[in-house]
Amino acid sequence: MGTVVDDAASVEFHAFFERHYAELSRLAHLLTGEPDAADDLAADALLALWHRWDRVRAADHPAAYARGVVANLARTRIRSAVRERRRVALFWSQREEKTENPDVAGVVDVQEALRRLPFRKRACVVLRHAFDLSEKDTALALGVSVGTVKSQTSKGMAELQRLLGTQAVPRKVHAAMARTADAGGRDR
């Protein structure tokens, strides 16, 4: 009888995987800014979900739980990359990065501005504007209160407006992230 339950859980997880893998990969890409790492983070998150599938499938919002796992893995990856850059900087002189072409596409500008936001602000902005999640769903995904989502999204958008120097930030952010998500979906 255990096999029937295991088979049912396996089929259910497979359906969940098929339904949410691309979304989780896009989320990882937008949170980390690393398209090559996005698939790995989504796969790692789904592996973690599979190991806890009995609990996940019983949850009220399994997709929100999955987004939270991706967000946590992305945060860990970013922190690790920051530590690695600091270690490398001890041994190598830092070069100034210069943009040769000052007429950079809006998508690149928005992605760079997003990378400059602290993780929680970036996650709130990405989930709210790229994935059109409600404040409640964003709060569920990140494991924070709705009030935190509201304040972090507002502060993140204000900082993006300051960084991008424009009043049309919500439209630009949404359009740029939609293009990134569309391109990411096609490339995968």
Place of tokens 């300051």: 162
Who has greater pLDDT, 167 or 11?
Answer: 11
List pLDDT tens digits, range 44-71: 999 999 999 989 888 889 999 999 999 9
Helix axes 169-187, 2-32, angle to 10 degrees: 130
- Mean pLDDT, residues 28-45: 92
List pLDDT tens digits, range 128-170: 988 888 999 899 888 899 999 999 999 999 998 888 886 656 6
Residues recorded for the chain: 188
Would you say the pTM of this structure is higher than 0.85? Answer: no
pLDDT for the residue 150: 96
| pLDDT at 178 > cutoff 60 | no
Long-range contacts, stretch 60-64, CB < 8 angstroms, 24+ apart = 61/137, 61/140, 62/16, 63/20, 63/23, 64/137, 64/140, 64/141
Q: 168 is written with which tokens?
A: 């049309």
List pLDDT tens digits, range 72-130: 999 999 888 877 776 655 545 444 545 454 445 577 888 888 999 999 999 999 989 88
- Mean pLDDT, residues 2-25: 85
pLDDT for the residue 20: 94
Taking the CA atoms of 158, 185, 134 and 61 in sequence, report the sign of the dihedral they define: negative
pLDDT for the residue 86: 67
Q: What is the 3-state secondary structure (H, E, C) of 141-179?
A: HHCCCHHHHHHHHHHHHHHHHHHHCCCCHHHHHHHHHHH
| pLDDT at 180 > cutoff 60 | no
pLDDT for the residue 107: 75
